Amino acid sequence: MSPSLSIFWFRQDLRILDNPALTAAAARGRVLPVYILDEAHPGPWRLGGASRWWLHRSLQALNQALDNQLWIFAGDPLTVIRELISRHGADAVYWNRCYEPWQRDRDRDIKQTLREQDVAVSSYNGSLLWEPWEVLKADGTPYRVFTPFFTKGCLQGPAPRSPESRPPELQLLPCTQSKQRIEELALLPTVDWYRVMATQWQPGETGAAQRLESFLETGLDQYRKGRDYPALEAVSRLSPHLHWGEISPNQVWHRIRQETLSRGLEEKGEHYLRELGWREFSYSLLYHFPELPRRNLQQKFDAFPWRNDAESLRAWSSGMTGYPIVDAGMRELWQTGYMHNRVRMIVASFLVKNLMIHWHQGEEWFWDCLLDADLANNSASWQWVAGCGADAAPYFRIFNPVTQGQKFDPEGHYVRRFIPEIAALPDRHLHDPSAAPEPVLTAAGIELDSTYPRAIVDLKDSRNRALEAFQSLSGKQGFAD
């Protein structure tokens, strides 16, 4: 009698270490590892361009780690899995849970259908430190404010599980497909706009592990400051690896704890672990409020008078607003698929408050351009900046891009890296070229609206306009439940 064969379905867990569902499948017997590109169920959340590039490279790395035994398909997952069951005699399917609404609905239907056909289906938590349904207030309702969510809901509950090692015996069903199957998914865009990304990132489990160790060695000491100063190399840049599950949050959590305890850096480590807590909070919001990506959690914002301004949106998305810290951030995003945390808040505030363009527009651009495009984080973060989400920043908190640039990029290293056409400006004028005297501009080789755009909006006027719009919401209905 042949040993049992289980299908293991890779999704957003593209790793071998600390992969609970893979470990469980391997303990049962032979494993058929499969990745299925599902382009139908996501709807508007179909993978963006940057995510597709990352997935292509990550699948290549995973396939290599599996000795080229990764089965690759595109299509409806239920159809693919049922065909594999019929062809190879598999009698069990394993996967790690995903939490996006469309994936939850799809997975529920698949699980029900397979179980009705006497196929065992098991799912595990391989993506979060705590399950969203386990972190609730005393009355059983979800938290809507981050600090009590993290300090009371998370930290006072069970500690995150320890990471698992590689399955001791991984008996893979030999793959009979062509080795070109990943290329046949056509994940790469026809224009190689991702060429800069390829020089800065190493998708895959090995790249994730190296990124973590590099952060521990060179970034952790400066993290508390570095998360605000974009020119410093002091952030982990682990977000794409975490999104694709090339490293688990449990691996990161326990490695940070281990390293900081051994070096007496517990306080600095806690600041980073708190950021992992924000990731958990975003997933909790998405789980309990599945309309988070489209619907204002603060319902009064449904009446907000957003502006339809295609020209300003194009200027913002292409990094041509005339405000260098905003433009540097948008160019960093386009060139590298990434943007520093502080700058993300600045560019988002500028779009939704100074330009009064709907946060949906920004969310959609980020979705296409970010390597770490994550439905929970992206949606919760945009709602936070816009003031319409849970635990949102007050709407009257409007980031001034000039003073933000002067404070967090005082020597202009970040701006000059991404906007070389204004690099010759002296520091005192670098963050507001439109206000620089004409002789200073001429000496720097700058002609406004020619070599660099004049500011597309007046900061004071646009701030007042946004505040007046917010005041018009007075008395409207509040939080969505």
Average pLDDT, the chain: 94
Min mean pLDDT across 38-52, 161-175, 176-190, 310-324 is at 176-190
The pLDDT of residue 263 = 87
The pLDDT of residue 1 = 42
pLDDT > 90 in the chain, percent: 86
Task: Kindly report, residue by residue over 409-454, the tens digit of the pLDDT.
Answer: 999 999 999 999 999 999 999 999 999 999 999 999 999 999 999 9
Report all structural domains of the chain as residue ranges with CATH numbers, in order of start: 5-124 (3.40.50.620), 128-163+205-288 (1.25.40.80), 299-471 (1.10.579.10)
Task: Kindly report, residue by residue over 17-64, the tens digit of the pLDDT.
Answer: 999 999 999 999 999 999 999 999 999 999 999 999 999 999 999 999
The pLDDT of residue 394 = 73
pLDDT > 70 in the chain, percent: 98
Mean pLDDT confidence for 59-71:
97
The pLDDT of residue 93 = 98
The pLDDT of residue 61 = 98
Band of residue 396 on the pLDDT scale cut at 50, 70, 90 = confident
Band of residue 479 on the pLDDT scale cut at 50, 70, 90 = very low
Band of residue 115 on the pLDDT scale cut at 50, 70, 90 = very high
The pLDDT of residue 193 = 79
Residue where the block lists tokens 């951030």: 329
What are the residue numbers of the active site?
275, 278, 306, 341, 359, 382
Band of residue 254 on the pLDDT scale cut at 50, 70, 90 = very high
